[in-house]
Structure 1
Amino acid sequence: MSALNISSPLVSASWLAEHLSAPNLIVLDATWFLPGSERDAQKEWREKRIPGARFFDFDNQIALPSAPFPHMLPEPAHFSREVEALGISDESQIVVYDSQGVFSAPRVWWMFRTMGHDQVAVLDGGLPAWEAEGNVVEQGEPSAFDMGKFDACYQAQWVIDGDSLLQHLNTPDVQVLDARAAARFYGTQPEPRQGVRSGHMPSAKSLPFGQLLKDGHFLPAEQLQHRFDAVSDADQRLIFSCGSGVTACILALAAELAGRKQLTVYDGSWTEWGATYKYPVV
């Protein structure tokens, strides 16, 4: 089979089944569970995965060491070293999925985009969609694979820190969109992490990530466009936030599918903002 070229940031289970044996395709399981779930994503990957899928641990292994906030984006050299150990090279075509449909996989899509790798897509519907179409799964330890050669090329426009975001809060050409549930956004439901204030950033708007999905799949592009048009102008830079920088990436991917161009994720998200008292909260 000839080398593959990924032309969309979202692929279907049928597309992946057709191209699974492409020589430059690498499938990544990026399943992650919220703290307190008592589920072990890596253990579940060993028990059931798309054939050949490698586990991408953005919570501990491919994250900034000793960061004060969860799963912060690592330095480019760290990222390159870790993905090379997964057999990923600059020429690799990457499909990322998770076991919950669409939840944590967009985080890894965003990480690769931030590191300058555009040939990456998310599996729409994730592992449930793969199984629903009757495709096989495998279990046990993965087969051996060769080391990759990956050179990260950091794209600063994809990520922002708290101090920089503070300077943009009241800028007309920027709109902050918060992916948390509306009750958390408005402060009527307490935050799950201790020491984190309730509420939202001044001038931010609520766009819960679940409004962009149906049955574990993204809404059609036209409907996504309507969702973003309702909360932002077409030419605004969109900055996405959530609880800890995971579901914000669902918004980022949905915005790209909707045709938006200036997309940025606040990596520390509310875990950082709500716990840092110099940052204002409404």
Structure 2
Amino acid sequence: MSLRSQAALPPLLISARQLSGLMAAKKPPRILDATWFLGAPGQPPRNAHAEFLRGPRIPGALFWDVDKVATVGPEVHNLPHMMPSGPVFAKSASEHGIGPETHVVIYDTHGIFSAPRTAFTFAAFGHKAVSVLDGGLPAWIDAGEKIDTAALSTDPAVEPVDYPTPTLRDGWIRSFDEMLANTKLGFRRQVVLDARAKARFDGHVAEARPGLASGHIPGARSLPFMDVLEQHTASDARLSEQKYTTLKQQSDLWKLVNAAVGGEDGIEKLRHDGSSSGSLGVSLSCGSGMTASILWLALQQLGVNAAIYDESWMGWGRRGADGEAPVEVTPKE
């Protein structure tokens, strides 16, 4: 890729103002709502697709279902939203009017939560023009931008676009076998960052999902995804003081990642490990592969490329409970 073409690529993280300007261009981006809800114990599940149809939405947005654009079934141990195959991804992109050169902007209704997972999926398949809307739909509304409040009975129709079947970029997804092998490398092992809450990482609370061990992958380090996010209270009356999240400033991310990796040169270590090994410098894990993508987005702002352990703790913790994988628990003070 030439320097000129690199410079033409849109930033991975964009603001509401930037998106508003892009929507007025001759070739506006394809906007995707990739909202996903984590089920809460004892509460009925929220249906992200139904909420998208009900509105509000960013004008022209389409819904991207992260649990349907995925590999499903026994081959992935029936885990949710696992990375799709090339054909599945290409089919969905085509049905959403997306071609290989289309600029795709992804948002969710939390602020920053599930949108990074879809952005990671596009990037992992080599799609270059992809952006995440910082603050998502709430930040868009809070900036005074127009919204579509019309209730829909079906998804908006779009003209399909040809999307050749892509190949997953080498090393972007880590398997269980790769992660297990990494635990045995001692001081040579790759850094693993866990995005779950610290109490879950430490193994001091029981996992909400049944059949999972408590603790973390041996040698992993804790960097809770909420630590890299800034919380806001909306001022626009249309949001009724809704709280939402944006990504923290680069300087704050720098401090957080350095502390998590251990030392002031932590980020340089991640960059060096990636450049010297020819692979990505860090692997990311969480509960089910969703919030690890928030760490991926944060690391991208620091010039660090990262892979995701797709099964995350739903896979490792299940094997740990069965005695098939080692589990580390942080000693209580």
Fold agreement, TM-score > 0.5: yes
Q: Aligned pair 1:49/2:50, yes or no? A: no
TM-score (norm 1): 0.94
Q: Which amino acid aligns with 1:273?
A: W
Matching residue of 2:161: 148
Partner SS for 1:157:
coil
Could you say which residue in structure 1 is the equivalent of 2:105?
95
Contact 1:181–1:208, Cα closer than 8 Å, also in 2: yes
Identify which of 298, 301, 313 aligns with 1:270: 313
Partner of 2:174: 160
Q: Distance in 2 between matches of 1:181 and 1:163?
A: 25
Match status 1:26 vs 2:60: no
Q: Quick check: 1:24–1:92 contact (8 Å CA) kept in 2? A: no
Verify the 8 A CA contact 2:111 2:134 in the aligned structure 1. yes
Question: Paired residue for 1:190, among 191, 198, 206?
Answer: 206
Matched-pair contact (CA < 8 Å) for 1:242–1:269: yes
Conserved? CA contact 2:221–2:260, under 8 Å: yes
- When residues 74 and 143 of structure 1 are mapped into structure 2, their CA distance, relative to the original with a 3 A threshold, is closer
Query: Which of residues 127, 140, 148 is equivalent to 1:117?
Result: 127
For residues 177 and 109 of structure 1, what CA distance do their matches in structure 2 show? 19
Larger radius of gyration: 2
C-alpha displacement at 1:44, in angstroms? 1.0
Residue 224 (structure 1) aligns with: 253
Unaligned segments of structure 2, at least 5 residues? 1-7, 232-244, 274-280, 329-333
| Aligned 1:172-211 pairs, distance under 5 A | 172=188, 174-211=190-227
Structure 1's 156 and 35: CA in aligned 2 closer, same or farther, altered over 3 A?
Answer: farther
| Matched length | 277
- State the match for 1:169 in structure 2: 183
Of residues 174-183 and 28-37 in structure 1, the stretch that sits farther from structure 2 once superposed is: 28-37
1:74-123: CA deviation from partner (whole Å, max 9, x where unpaired): 11111111111111111100110000010000000110011111210110
CA contact (8 A) 2:95 2:158 kept: no
Identify if the C-alpha distance between structure 1 residues 173 and 273 changes in structure 2 by more than 3 Å, giving closer, same or farther: closer
Q: Which residue number in structure 1 is paired with residue 66 of structure 2? A: 58
Tell me, which stretches of 5 or more residues in structure 1 are unaligned? none
SS in 2 for 1:210: helix
CA contact (8 A) 1:113 1:158 kept: no
One-letter code aligned to 2:327 = V
User: Do the aligned partners of 1:12 and 1:123 also contact (CA within 8 Å) in 2?
Assistant: yes
The partner residue of 1:35 within 22, 39, 43 is 39
* Amino acid in structure 2 at the alignment position of 1:279: A
Deviation at 1:231, TM superposition (A): 2.3
Deviation string, structure 1 residues 172-227 (Cα, Å, up to 9, x no partner): 25100000000100111111111011100110000000110102111111221221
**Cross-structure match for 1:241:** 285
